[in-house]
Amino acid sequence: MVAALDIQVTKTLKSRFSEIDINHLPFGKYYTDHMLEVDYKDGKWQKVAIRPFQALNMSPGLSAIHYGQSIFEGIKAYKDREGNPFIFRPIDNFRRFNLSAERMEMPVVPEEIFMEGMRRLVELDKDWIPMKNDYSLYIRPFMFSTDETLGVKAADTYKFMILLSPTGPYYSSPLRIYVEEKYTRAARGGFGFAKAAGNYGGSMLATAVAKRQGFDQVLWMDAFEHKYIQEMGTMNVFFVIGDKVLTPDLEDGTILEGVTRDSAIEVLREEGYTVEEGPIHIDDVVRAYEAGELREAFGTGTAATISMIKELRYEEFTIKFDIDGAKAAPTVKRVLTDIREGRRKDTRGWMFKV
Ligand code: COI
């Protein structure tokens, strides 16, 4: 599919694989034996290297640290029931990565570096792909600026890297969500659609306040009226109201165009659900609850996969969901698992063969 890529591969002398318990993996705690690294300088990408996972030696004047030109992606690799490694929809993450790069005035990464580099890295460390239910190999491509001067400007030099992390579920049980009306995540014209490190840094305070009150995540509202639902920071959000599934649209560029969000929409439509993308006012969610029409709420994300919401707190309202009665979210989860494990035909070419 992509041109042969010349990669300088240096293999580790001693694998760390035996140090982990592949059946008990917190999200993002462990890294595999190798990582991919390539620098951008003099206006072009240099030679791609795969080398043993190791620390980077960087200047404290690194521009990414000071001014935040830093973006990333999250992708997952699985093995089917025969043990063949696959990556789920990586081309969609590649496209989104370069949209983030453009928004942050960073160089785009060529397809062969992103796709073939990732394929070669996953192939090398494929023994680290867990085969347990809800487990996977999390792939973290990222890019940051590497200039060492303090002037505020788009940098001239960058580093693109890929790390691999064998991982278990991000959330282990249904979520309690706090509707955030004081702090906001993104406004029209901003960079909410970009997977930029700053979007996550800016979310920490509100999330920590919500966690101190026993919630797992916040649900972000729009920056003007604080009434229109955006996303949850680690996930896009869906509501089942009556016989429809609703999710915020991507029109104003404030939410992330989630690959799992898109997969969920496609799967739900295929399974006969009516899915509508559009503005969702929080008061309409409350009204649907009071009318007995609000059936489910769930989040979608690469890391979080499909995560059920069991409680939503909005001002004085506490909305409780009947997790056991949910149908839409378990349907998406089952269909996606069946596609990944080869029990259901991959009609859309979502599974990229390693
Ligand atoms: C992902 O789902 O891949 C994310 O990036 C969310 C979070 C782990 C940062």
* pLDDT in the model for residue 297: 98
Please tell me the distance between residue 72's alpha carbon and the centre of ligand 1 in angstroms. Answer: 9
- Which domains are assigned to the chain? 7-169 (3.30.470.10), 175-340 (3.20.10.10)
- Residue 89 falls in which region: left (phi positive, over 0), alpha (psi -120 to 50) or beta: left
* Contact between residue 340 and residue 80 where contact means Cβ atoms under 8 Å apart: yes
Enter the tokens of residue 175: 């979520």
C-alpha torsion angle, residues 233, 255, 156, 7 (rounded to 10)? 70
Name which residue sits closest to atom 3 of ligand 1, judged by CA: 74
- Alpha-carbon radius of gyration of the chain: 21
Enter the tokens of residue 326: 């949910």
Please tell me the distance between residue 282's alpha carbon and the centre of ligand 1 in angstroms. Answer: 24
Provide the strand spans (E) within the chain: 7-9, 34-41, 44-45, 48-52, 70-72, 75-79, 85-88, 136-145, 158-167, 175-180, 217-220, 236-241, 244-247, 274-277, 294-301, 305-314, 317-320, 351-353
Rounded CA separation 176/73 (Å): 25
* pLDDT in the model for residue 2: 47
Please tell me the distance between residue 304's alpha carbon and the centre of ligand 1 in angstroms. Answer: 7
Name which residue sits closest to atom 5 of ligand 1, judged by CA: 74
Enter the tokens of residue 340: 């990944």
Atom of ligand 1 nearest to the CA of 74: 3
Closest CA to 201 of 181, 186, 216, 179: 186
CB neighbour burial string for 311-343, b if at least 16 within 10 angstroms, e if fewer = bbbbeeeebebebeebebbebbbebbbebbbbe
Backbone angles phi, psi at 67, to 5 degrees: -120, 0
Walk along the chain (354 residues) and give the pLDDT tens digit of each residue. Answer: 545 799 999 999 999 999 999 889 999 999 999 999 999 999 999 999 999 999 999 999 999 999 999 999 999 999 988 899 999 999 999 999 999 999 999 999 999 999 999 999 999 999 999 998 889 999 999 999 999 999 999 999 999 999 999 999 999 899 999 999 999 999 999 999 999 999 999 999 999 999 999 999 999 999 999 999 999 979 999 999 999 999 999 999 999 999 999 999 999 999 999 999 999 999 999 999 999 999 999 999 999 999 999 999 999 999 999 999 999 999 999 999 999 988 899 999 999 999
Rounded CA separation 214/207 (Å): 11
User: pTM value?
Assistant: 0.96
Enter the tokens of residue 195: 């997977």
Rounded CA separation 258/85 (Å): 23
Please tell me the distance between residue 302's alpha carbon and the centre of ligand 1 in angstroms. Answer: 6
* Contact between residue 101 and residue 108 where contact means Cβ atoms under 8 Å apart: yes
- Ligand 1, CB cutoff 6 Å, lining residues: 74, 234, 301-304
Pocket test for ligand 1, best of 71, 165, 234, 257 (most atoms within 8 A of CB): 234
